[in-house]
């Protein structure tokens, strides 16, 4: 798969398969191509060459079916600060086709899963960054999609908040396919079964997290070199 913007090749011959049920880490420095990869998987961009399939479905051919299979939690949570947590989840669930008793059951389940039930009636804008990330994850997981894409979930959080969010993501292991985009090597080692490292749009490493990131100088991968 390739993606170019004019003469600039952002992803170059990327050949990558993510297995059902695994937590997969996508790593790379800024500009490596991670965001472009997410946009291709979610159907907001189309590949210049090659193809993308989500559960065997092309986002370019049937974007609605792909969107029904994906939950996305952005680096900066896309939340409404003036809504209360339960209200925000109800609004998000409605957008994803949930209604009535099924919607309320999904909200209650998400509040329990991400341990935010005690904050259900608080304004989102009054929550800490860590709890806003929990709400973002709950929103993405509301209709229990088979694929969850999480972009830099602990960026800007303090150590305690990072630990809390990582614990939440670790709790999803084996239940859903999770694609974790991160700069944090420790986070990738802790949470991911396999990782891929991109450098200037090319795949420079792929394999078990401990093997890829366990060398003497794993940061060399971010520069496009073998560790």
Residue ranges of the domains in the chain? 1-69+146-227, 80-144
So what's the pLDDT on residue 226? Answer: 58
Tens digit of each residue's pLDDT, the chain (227 residues): 899 999 899 999 999 999 999 999 999 888 889 999 999 999 889 999 999 999 999 998 999 999 999 999 888 888 999 999 999 999 999 988 899 999 999 999 999 988 899 999 999 999 988 889 889 989 988 988 999 999 988 887 788 878 888 888 888 888 889 999 988 888 999 999 999 999 999 999 999 999 998 877 777 787 776 55
Whether the CB-CB separation of 132 and 140 falls below 8 Å is answered with no
* Cβ neighbours for 211, distance < 8 A, ≥ 6 positions apart: none
Q: How many CA atoms lie within 13 A of 19 on its CB side?
A: 11
Q: What is the pTM of this model?
A: 0.87
Q: Tokens 């150590």 sit at which residue?
A: 159
Neighbour count for residue 4 (Cβ, 10 Å): 14
Domain 1-69+146-227, second-level architecture: 3-Layer(aba) Sandwich (3.40)
So what's the pLDDT on residue 162? Answer: 83
Length of the chain, in residues: 227
So what's the pLDDT on residue 173? Answer: 84
Pairwise CA distance, residues 14 & 50, whole Å:
9
Pairwise CA distance, residues 108 & 152, whole Å:
26
Residue 149 to residues 67, 124, 127, 146, Cα–Cα distance (Å):
12, 22, 23, 10
Whether the CB-CB separation of 4 and 22 falls below 8 Å is answered with no
Pairwise CA distance, residues 50 & 15, whole Å:
9
Q: Tokens 């339960």 sit at which residue?
A: 86
Query: Strand 202-208 vs strand 70-73: parallel, antiparallel, or unpaired?
Result: unpaired
So what's the pLDDT on residue 100? Answer: 95
Strand partners, 72: 149
**How many helices (H) and strands (E) are present in the chain, helices listed first?**
8, 8
Token pair, residue 140, equals 């993405």
């Amino acid at each position: 798969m390739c993606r170019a913007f004019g003469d600039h090749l952002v992803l170059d011959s990327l050949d990558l398969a993510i297995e059902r049920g695994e937590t997969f880490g996508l790593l790379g420095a800024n500009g490596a191509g991670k965001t472009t990869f997410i946009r291709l998987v979610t159907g907001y961009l189309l590949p210049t060459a090659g193809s993308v399939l989500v559960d065997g479905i092309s986002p370019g051919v049937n974007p609605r079916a792909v969107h029904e299979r994906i939950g996305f939690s952005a680096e900066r949570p896309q939340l409404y600060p003036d809504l209360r947590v339960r209200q925000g989840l109800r609004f998000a669930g409605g957008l994803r086709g949930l209604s009535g008793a099924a919607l309320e059951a999904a909200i209650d389940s998400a509040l329990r899963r991400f341990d935010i039930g005690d904050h259900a009636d608080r304004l989102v804008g009054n929550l800490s960054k860590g709890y806003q990330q929990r709400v973002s994850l709950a929103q993405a997981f509301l209709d229990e999609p088979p694929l969850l894409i999480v972009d830099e979930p602990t960026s800007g959080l303090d150590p305690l908040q990072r630990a809390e969010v990582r614990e939440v993501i670790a709790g999803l292991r084996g239940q859903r396919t999770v694609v974790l985009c991160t700069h944090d090597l420790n986070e990738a080692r802790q949470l991911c079964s396999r990782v891929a490292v991109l450098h200037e749009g090319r795949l420079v490493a792929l394999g078990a997290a401990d093997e890829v990131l366990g060398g003497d100088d794993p940061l060399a991968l971010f520069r496009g070199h073998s560790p």
